[in-house]
Amino acid sequence: MRKKTVLITGGAGFIGSHMCEKLLNNNYAVICLDNFITSSEENIKALFRYKDFRFELRNVSNHIGIPGKIDYVLHCASLASPEDYLDFPIQTLKVGSLGTHNALGLAKNKKAVFLLFSTSEIYGDPLVHPQKESYWGNVNPVGVRGCYDESKRFAEAITMAYQRVHKLDTKIVRIFNTYGPKMRHNDGRVVPNFILCAISNKPLTVYGKGQQTRSFCYIDDLLEGLLRLMLSKINQPVNLGNPDELTIMQLAKLVLKITRSKSKIVYRQLPVDDPRQRQPDISKAHKLLSWKPAFCLQEGLERTIAWFKG
């Protein structure tokens, strides 16, 4: 009996490479596409031991032609770190627009299920708290973060258009802050930044007064939610994240405590358009997918810190 085949764009990135492994361990054949602009071949090195894993060096902002049967297309390709999309704003816009269009075209051609990896950033600096899927967001389209926020908002819009016009079976996941092993050392996001500084006893940089809030989801929890959504009949956006909200200052102190670091905390000016609060309402995922996070922040950080030390 033929294994079902999943094609995943951006499959060598942090979330993408974990998802490839999750799918392989659940008896799927996986085709991974990536161009390594912000990802790493190291992330997928161990996956070549699976006979059902295939990698192709591709820029999905160009046409995607893949022979053979494909059952699911997962569009994960993205420049998701603020440092990345500030360095590569045009590539960020292209992969969110042209890349999504190409991935949808492939799914339509193969009659495959399509899953868009979207983001909590579509809510911008939210005026509603916590953020439900029904909230339309508060985004500055011409700000420095607009290239990422608006590329994802466009990606959601074209995904819904393909669902309505072409009757494509599409799903949209809005991913809130996720962390874990395989995050890049120079990722620029707060968790790897704090961990790397703490384990080397360098100062931890906190922006503003550190009172902006985030909610951090461990990668294993996210993967379980992604797989459940992929196999579901849900065709509307779904939030996946951990609803336990804390301030950036609280996160800094927790990392220092776990690592027993002697690092000091230093303060810098708050970046432009930095969201003041971020917390997912996951009642939809809990009700329709029977999903909720299993890992508390301390346990997830301990695992992540161990990986960074290794």
CA angle 294, 298, 304 (to 5 degrees): 90
Active-site choice (72, 123, 148, 162):
148
- 148 catalytic per annotation: yes
Q: Which two tokens stand for residue 114?
A: 């399509």
Q: What DSSP string runs through 135-158?
A: ---B--TTSTTHHHHHHHHHHHHH
Residue 267 neighbours by CB under 8 Å, 6+ apart: 205, 206, 207, 208, 209, 210
3-state secondary structure 79-141: CCCHHHHHHCHHHHHHHHHHHHHHHHHHHHHHCCEEEEEEEHHHHECCCCCCECCCCCCECCC
Q: Would you give the DSSP letter of residue 186? A: T
Amino acid at 241: G
Q: Are 169 and 114 in contact (CB under 8 A)?
A: yes
Tell which residue, 33, 39, 36, has the closest CA to residue 65.
33
Phi first, then psi, for residue 8 (nearest 5°) are -125, 120
Catalytic positions, written as ranges: 148
